[in-house]
Chains A and B, each alone.
Chain A
Amino acid sequence: MESVGKSMKRVDARGKVTGEARYANDLKPKNCLTAKVVHATIANGRVLSIDTSEAEKVPGVVKIVTCFDVPDIEFPTAGHPWSVEPAHQDIADRKLLNERVRLYGDDIAAIVATDNVACERAERLLKISYEEYDPIVTVDEALSPGATPLHPNLRKDNVLLHTSFRSGELGEIDYEQAKEKAAQKYGADQLLEQTGVYKTARIAHCHIELATSWAYVDTNGKVTVTSSTQIPHIMRRVISQALGWPVGKIRVIKPYIGGGFGNKQDILYEPLNAYLTIACGGRPVELEISREECMVSTRTRHAVRGEVKALYTRDGKLLARTMDEYSNGGAYASHGHAITASIATIFKDLYHDEYGCRSDATTVYTSSATAGAMRAYGVPQAVFIADCLVDDICAAGGFDPLKFRMDNCVGAGFSASNGITYYSYSMKECMRRGAEAIGWEEKRKAYEGQTGPVRHGVGMSIFMYKVGVHPISLETSSARMILNQDGSMQVELSATEIGQGADTVFTQMASEITGITPDRVYIVSTQDTDLSPFDTGAYASRQTFVTGKAVKKCGIEFRKKILDYASYMLDRPAEELMIWQNRICEKLPEDESTKIDPAAVWADFPDVDFKPFDLKDLPNGEDSILRDTGNIEGRPGKALLDMKDLAQTAFYSLSRSEHITAEVTSHCKENSFASGCSFVDLTVDMPLGKVKINRIINVHDSGRLINPQLAQAQVHGGMAMGIGYALSEELLYDAKGRPLNDNLLDFKIPTAMDIPDLETIFLELDDPMGPFGNKALGEPPVISVAPAIRNAILNATGVAMNELPMTPQRLVEAFKEKGLI
């Protein structure tokens, strides 16, 4: 390959290191008004009245709107593709401002003024009266009899949704019956059981850019919102729903954004921002919320509790597992039950149980921060529960956790109940490489029988992650390519650059397919829903896979149009031509030795019947993972025509003027699993409850890497996020539902001093479903870090920490309870 697979420098790097890259707030006009959201100071209840008379007298105040003023429209906020089936549509459960207060900090009014001080002074002068109900901050409180339903018009109680997934025989029989069957087969004395309750914490995304937008009404009457979002086209639809305006009258612009991690895969304050500019006669209004609001008034990762049970044999065969899981969904549905369902699914699928698995999951409304999408969409929670359980089984049964996982993990060719299939399977190879890199055997041996206050441990965890949302939801994407007069090209997409490097890898893909070199591929980074073709945006680690197919398909069409024109100019059949390094060349027959495997191009023909395979089934055994997926059939011969000359002629020819463009929609109906694992070696200083990570290694099979350097950087970031998730991050609330640590000092994301050097290993196994053999990469790096750390602490100290984060205080308490300190 020419471009794909190379560590090309980011196309946006220069703009970002010079500070010239513009983010939403950098683009606001000089005369922009400032808006401030007024938040409720009770956790559950109702606003009875808001007296704005004194506040309105504050110099500089332009407009105050309250929950009694806004349209009586409830709208959904999830960054999902809209479902045409009403039953599958996202839950519409909030208004722009809410009279019914469902969490401490609920949005009840907004002030627009000439500056922030005027907003703050006005806010202090509002007279607000409430009717107050008991806060229901926890899942247990929200489910207790007599708890106020937070959304009585939608649900009679606070259960947002409950689902039950079953696999294998547990689809027919229950756990106890499976146990009886197992007793007959293996003998009752050969069976062991493990139970556990594992909890994960509510955390904040902490993208360094705040959630921010500004809006105005344009001269054409369109409300135009510039926002820091992952999903501009979805935002356009949701603003339209929230305002009751037609979609065509909404325009969303997305410039560079300072991180999202799923928080900006939700519609946050943009509909309110749109409403406020309309309320101010179309004047520009900025709505940049504070860091504190960002922590608790946007979205969070679901805190979950998993109650689990496992049946296994004395020689380490997993027979059956059950899980009853509860997710704290917070005050509003956001992504609804989708994330919790993802937790239940991955818990079930990550291991193979002889008799199957039952995985029940419930999302619960509570009067606390709304939970929504966050990097890896529930899978970190699922894997924490699943892999705590596995290591507890290993500790009890005396198994080596690596061997147990090798014996019981999801196997090659696994096909999930929804049809997603493990095509390129490398879970075990990932484990082998990680174990070798960390020195698993030696370290497990060396760390046996330790005494003293400071101990060492090594631990691991594995994960699988589906790519994109098909078939649960729609996967569709468009791409547009335009030839410039100089033979360079424009690429326009609505898949978004959010820091992950999307613009760069799409540039590489476009170059790969068209033969135009990457320096002449100009990708339009900004999305403008008036101009950019439709795509649902950045989430689900979908873009290189789903949008990648659109880019590939568009590139093939674009290339064909160029070659058709070249054929006209050169008077030779297009089939004899190819584009190579900005030149039209003669196409020579492909060298047999570099001939591509048909599997590589199957992605272009999704209807081809495809057989799952393991590494060993590939034509050349393990070596075949190096197999290339070239997209230009043939090899270049004599150069015949420069692209620049072709373009000039195409534009300006008096005999045949043709503006060469291509635009396609790619409806992606394929999926696969990415997988990998984390290995951790650490030291625990028990009297101080301090964990020092000596080495941490993530191994990933994300298929073919489009850009190895950027792929590695993605993994670094996920690993650091996983370390924070393991050891320090937790959003805390008091009993009244008031947030305690809604800032970057008290909510502990790691600093550079808290992160060790981060090691990465990739297995580049081509996946037949990916446009370039690639699979998901953006989210997976965070998944298996926390359980690997937890399991290393277990190895070091014998103490099973069952709750995240494993803070010094929790560790000290656990060590004291065990009499270790």
Chain B
Amino acid sequence: MLQIINMYVNGRREELAVDIRESLLETLRERLNLTSVKKGCGVGECGACTVLVDGVAVDACLYLTMWAEGKHILTTEGLKSPTGELNPIQQAFVDEAAVQCGFCTPGLIMTAVELMGKGRKYTREELRKEIAGHLCRCTGYENILNALEKVVGYPKEQGGE
């Protein structure tokens, strides 16, 4: 039941033999060792496995690998600059103490990268809606929102509205 698939993962072209039954979550973790893609539920309820497919955030657990043919996949591993500098959203997560156990973190960062790609600013309430597909049990979302506001929010002094 193996089939050859071609896709671009973190900018690199990959030609892989995959099982047709695989989710993108499994392919990225098991075949490409991209373990930032976390499994928290397997049914799209927690958001820990969020990756970008052609710039759009999806739950990799509910995305058949077969659908990825020809597509561009981005995971957290693909965000650092070639010399190791953090992406601004990664840095904001560090600075704002938005990380605790860290298990939901890569998925949230991918949603944030999707937002950055849209080239607009968000209010705090809009950001709450944009990250509502990620469950976090450690942070109460407070510092995550602070980190996001730093990068894709309105400057604080403008009141955010």
A752 touches B45 (CB 8 A): no
25 A–B contacts from the bound complex (CB under 8 Å): A12-B99, A16-B99, A17-B106, A18-B36, A18-B79, A21-B102, A208-B46, A259-B100, A259-B137, A288-B39, A290-B42, A499-B102, A712-B97, A713-B139, A714-B100, A718-B140, A720-B139, A744-B135, A745-B43, A751-B135, A752-B131, A755-B140, A755-B141, A755-B142, A758-B142
Cα distance A229–B21 in the bound complex, in angstroms: 31
- Complex contacts, B30 vs chain A, CB 8 Å: 30
B99 touches A10 (CB 8 A): yes
Cα distance A576–B90 in the bound complex, in angstroms: 45
Closest CB-CB distance, B11 to chain A, in whole Å? 15
A519 at interface by CB-CB < 8 Å: no
- Complex contacts, A73 vs chain B, CB 8 Å: none
Please give the residue numbers on chain A whose beta carbons come within 8 Å of chain B beta carbons, in ascending order.
Answer: 7, 9-10, 12-23, 25-26, 30, 117, 205-210, 256-259, 261, 288, 290-291, 498-501, 709-710, 712-714, 716-721, 743-745, 749, 751-753, 755, 757-758
B57 at interface by CB-CB < 8 Å: no
A498 touches B141 (CB 8 A): no
Cα distance A383–B158 in the bound complex, in angstroms: 41
Closest to B40 in A: A208
Closest to A713 in B: B97
- Complex contacts, A757 vs chain B, CB 8 Å: 124, 142
Interface string of B38-72 (1 = CB under 8 A from A): 11111101101000000000000000000000000
- Complex contacts, A743 vs chain B, CB 8 Å: 41, 43, 45
Instruction: Give the contacting residue for A14; candidates B40, B94, B144; CB below 8 A.
Output: B94
A752 touches B145 (CB 8 A): yes
B138 at interface by CB-CB < 8 Å: yes
- Complex contacts, B138 vs chain A, CB 8 Å: 259, 499, 713, 717
Cα distance A719–B137 in the bound complex, in angstroms: 10
Known A17-B94, A17-B109, A744-B135; contact A716-B142, beta-carbon cutoff 8 A = yes
A291 touches B41 (CB 8 A): yes
Q: Which 6 A-B pairs have the closest CB atoms?
A: A19-B36, A499-B101, A258-B103, A16-B102, A720-B140, A19-B76
Closest CB-CB distance, A728 to chain B, in whole Å? 13
B122 at interface by CB-CB < 8 Å: no
B121 at interface by CB-CB < 8 Å: no
- Complex contacts, A721 vs chain B, CB 8 Å: 137, 140
- Complex contacts, A206 vs chain B, CB 8 Å: 135, 137
Cα distance A352–B135 in the bound complex, in angstroms: 40
B104 touches A14 (CB 8 A): no
Known A9-B94, A744-B45; contact A18-B141, beta-carbon cutoff 8 A = no
Closest CB-CB distance, B44 to chain A, in whole Å? 9
Cα distance A757–B149 in the bound complex, in angstroms: 13
Contact size range, B: 35 or more
B136 at interface by CB-CB < 8 Å: yes
Cα distance A205–B80 in the bound complex, in angstroms: 33
Closest to B45 in A: A744
B75 at interface by CB-CB < 8 Å: yes
A208 touches B128 (CB 8 A): no
B135 touches A749 (CB 8 A): yes
- Complex contacts, A21 vs chain B, CB 8 Å: 102
B135 touches A208 (CB 8 A): yes
Instruction: Give the contacting residue for B43; candidates A18, A261, A291; CB below 8 A.
Output: A291
Cα distance A288–B139 in the bound complex, in angstroms: 24
Known A17-B109, A23-B38, A208-B104; contact A720-B141, beta-carbon cutoff 8 A = yes
- Complex contacts, A26 vs chain B, CB 8 Å: 29, 35
B15 at interface by CB-CB < 8 Å: no
Cα distance A473–B131 in the bound complex, in angstroms: 42
Instruction: Give the contacting residue for A17; candidates B21, B48, B86; CB below 8 A.
Output: B86
Cα distance A51–B24 in the bound complex, in angstroms: 35
Task: Identify which of residues 74-130 in chain B touch chain A, using a CB-to-CB cut-off of 8 Å.
Answer: 75-77, 79-80, 86, 90-91, 93-95, 97, 99-106, 109, 124, 127-129
Closest to B110 in A: A19
- Complex contacts, B95 vs chain A, CB 8 Å: 9
Known A291-B42, A744-B46; contact A22-B139, beta-carbon cutoff 8 A = no
Interface string of B3-35 (1 = CB under 8 A from A): 000000000000000000100000001100011
B101 touches A745 (CB 8 A): no
Cα distance A753–B132 in the bound complex, in angstroms: 6
Cα distance A753–B144 in the bound complex, in angstroms: 13
Instruction: Give the contacting residue for A749; candidates B36, B129, B137, B145; CB below 8 A.
Output: B137
Cα distance A19–B110 in the bound complex, in angstroms: 11
Cα distance A10–B75 in the bound complex, in angstroms: 22
- Complex contacts, B34 vs chain A, CB 8 Å: 19
B77 touches A752 (CB 8 A): no
Known A117-B21, A209-B38, A713-B139; contact A499-B86, beta-carbon cutoff 8 A = no
Closest to B106 in A: A19
Closest to A714 in B: B100
- Complex contacts, A209 vs chain B, CB 8 Å: 38, 40, 101, 103
